[in-house]
């Protein structure tokens, strides 16, 4: 991955990172730093990073604005070759990045961290292959005129990343922005910055100085400064709906381009013909329990038809009870750690609130069987049944391993309940009757609907939400064109 020392759990001295600005690795202008604590052990500081501020944002934006025009002026094939070289290096570094992801985020190595690292390399290869699609059109204008359009980069893009899956979210943004001729400044989440800094070490070997920058620090200090900076042409934000609303408002004041991928409360609808072990396995993927429920696409509302409610729930409980909650670095582990104490307390608060609700039933509570605990932030999966769709546990994003099970009887009823949410990011429909499945999928108000599968995201599909789950699309050809380029129209009088 690199020749410098990367964080390890066993290291007695934390790894001291710097930020990437203008092709150089630098401290914060005022010398401040932050400690990075691994969720495996709240007592263990694995790294320190600069605590950037407004002055650091000024340096990064200036470097990006200087580098971007030259990068954009290169033939698209040169940018393509750079991305392919990065992809090769990322493939070689995938296992190291996966191990560091487990340490940095608490995501289990086998179920999440390794697939995330491999996806990153695939994304760079995919977008490298789209370099030739950055083209315009001509219109028939007669022999004495020429009418043409061209796709031009947006300019300098700020990519603000979350802590739950940093490499995966970077894969959604970075290669598409780079291949289309933009410079990008990534703001790494303060709770999980190390893999993004290691990603930058790989990329910088193949990019001109300033084309990629990485800043570390708090969102209120460095993220907000990026959002408000007049030299940032676009903000691509992934995070909570509440924070995203503020990002959109601040960027909108100066009419900057914005794309937002925000929260979710995704419905999973199981029809009577799908009470099978195979569907239970797919439903297990949909719950995102293997990511501690720390996923905005988590299928956290399970709508079970009353005719199969009990039998399907029994199957699911049996399967969930066999998931292993443990050290995310271990191959046997299915579920790793919650990111930090604040998030653990938030998840537990939702659980406590739900358990105090009249009428709720606990179908599965894995906490008594936990064999791991402090000093790590471990939380076992929970399945709550007989939930009403109007309850808080069914309406707000928990971002933890908690599933709400809601019975239904009629198709119109379940579609109405699925859509009765201000979120609209993802949805899951399980039905052997494919006509019924597709009809339902088209009625659900979500940006991404999976039918008879729980984990089918792939490079090249448009990804983004409806309603309060955000706007804009990433991770696809159309997402690249619509999100990271703009059309310039040129009309020429000949003769």
| Per annotation, catalytic residue among 261, 282, 397, 445 | 261
Across residues 60-64, what is the average pLDDT?
A: 98
Supply the pLDDT for residue 495: 81
Q: Would residue 24 show up in a list of annotated catalytic residues for this protein?
A: no
Three-state secondary-structure class, residue 412: helix
Task: Please tell me the pTM assigned to this model.
Answer: 0.97
The answer on pLDDT for 195 being more than 90 is yes
| Per annotation, catalytic residue among 190, 296, 445, 467 | 296
Burial of 371 by CB count in 10 Å (0-12 exposed, 13-18 middle, 19+ buried)? exposed
| % residues pLDDT > 70 (the chain) | 99
Q: β-strand 138-139 against 426-430: which pairing, if any? A: unpaired
The answer on pLDDT for 40 being more than 70 is yes
Q: Would residue 268 show up in a list of annotated catalytic residues for this protein?
A: no
pLDDT, tens digit (0-9, with 9 covering 90-100), for 108-145: 999 999 999 999 999 999 999 999 999 999 999 999 99
Q: Would residue 261 show up in a list of annotated catalytic residues for this protein?
A: yes
Q: Please enumerate in sequence order all residues whose Cβ is within 8 A of that of 412, keeping only pairs 6 or more positions apart, or say none.
A: none
Q: Would residue 467 show up in a list of annotated catalytic residues for this protein?
A: no
The answer on pLDDT for 30 being more than 60 is yes
CB 296 within 8 A of CB 446: no
Residue for token pair 């899951």: 428
Supply the pLDDT for residue 5: 81
pLDDT, tens digit (0-9, with 9 covering 90-100), for 296-346: 999 999 999 999 999 999 999 999 999 999 999 999 999 999 999 999 999
CB 429 within 8 A of CB 450: yes
Three-state secondary-structure class, residue 313: helix
Q: What are phi and psi of 406, to 5 degrees?
A: -125, 125
| Per annotation, catalytic residue among 116, 173, 282, 467 | 173
């Amino acid at each position: 991955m690199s020749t410098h020392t990367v964080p390890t759990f066993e290291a007695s001295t934390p790894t001291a990172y710097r930020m990437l600005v203008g092709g150089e690795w630098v401290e914060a202008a005022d010398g401040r730093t932050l400690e990075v604590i691994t969720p495996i052990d709240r007592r263990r500081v694995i790294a320190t990073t600069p605590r950037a501020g407004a002055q650091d944002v000024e340096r990064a934006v200036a470097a990006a604005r200087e580098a971007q025009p030259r990068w954009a002026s290169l033939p698209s094939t040169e940018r393509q070759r750079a991305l392919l070289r990065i992809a090769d290096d990322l493939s070689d570094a995938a296992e190291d990045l996966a191990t560091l992801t487990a340490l940095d985020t608490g995501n289990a190595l086998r179920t999440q961290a390794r697939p995330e690292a491999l996806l990153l390399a695939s994304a760079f290869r995919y977008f490298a292959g789209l370099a030739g699609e950055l083209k315009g059109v001509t219109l028939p204008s007669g022999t004495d005129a020429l009418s043409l359009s061209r796709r031009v980069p947006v300019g300098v893009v700020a990519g603000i990343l979350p802590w739950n899956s940093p490499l995966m979210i970077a894969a959604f943004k970075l290669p598409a922005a780079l291949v289309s001729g933009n410079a990008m400044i990534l703001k790494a989440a303060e709770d999980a910055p190390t893999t993004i800094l290691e990603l930058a070490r790989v990329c910088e070997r193949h990019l001109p100085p300033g084309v990629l920058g990485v800043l570390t620090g708090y969102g209120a200090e460095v993220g907000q400064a990026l959002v408000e900076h007049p030299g940032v042409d676009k903000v691509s934000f992934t995070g909570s709906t509440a924070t995203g609303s503020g990002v959109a408002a601040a960027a909108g004041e100066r009419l900057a381009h914005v794309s937002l991928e925000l929260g979710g409360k995704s419905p999973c609808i199981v029809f009577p013909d799908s009470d099978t072990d195979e569907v239970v396995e797919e439903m297990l993927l949909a719950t995102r329990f293997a990511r501690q429920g720390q996923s905005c696409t988590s299928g956290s509302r399970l709508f079970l038809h009353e005719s199969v409610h009990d039998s399907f729930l029994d199957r699911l409980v049996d399967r969930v009870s066999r998931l292993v909650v443990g050290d995310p670095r271990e191959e046997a582990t299915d579920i790793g750690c919650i990111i930090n104490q604040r998030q653990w307390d938030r998840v537990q608060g939702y659980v406590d609130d739900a358990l105090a609700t009249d009428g709720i039933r606990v179908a599965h509570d894995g906490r008594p069987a936990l064999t791991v605990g402090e000093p790590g932030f471990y939380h076992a999966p929970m399945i709550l049944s007989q939930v009403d769709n109007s309850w808080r546990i069914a309406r707000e994003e928990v971002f933890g391993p908690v599933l709400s099970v809601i019975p239904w009887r009629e198709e119109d009823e379940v579609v109405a309940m699925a859509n009765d949410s201000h979120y609209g990011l993802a949805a899951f429909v399980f039905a052997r009757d494919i006509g019924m499945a597709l009809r339902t999928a088209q009625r659900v108000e979500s940006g991404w609907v999976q039918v008879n599968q729980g984990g089918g995201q792939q490079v090249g599909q448009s990804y983004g939400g409806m309603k309060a789950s955000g706007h804009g699309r990433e991770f696809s050809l159309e997402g690249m064109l619509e999100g990271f380029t703009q059309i310039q129209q040129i009309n020429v009088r000949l003769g």
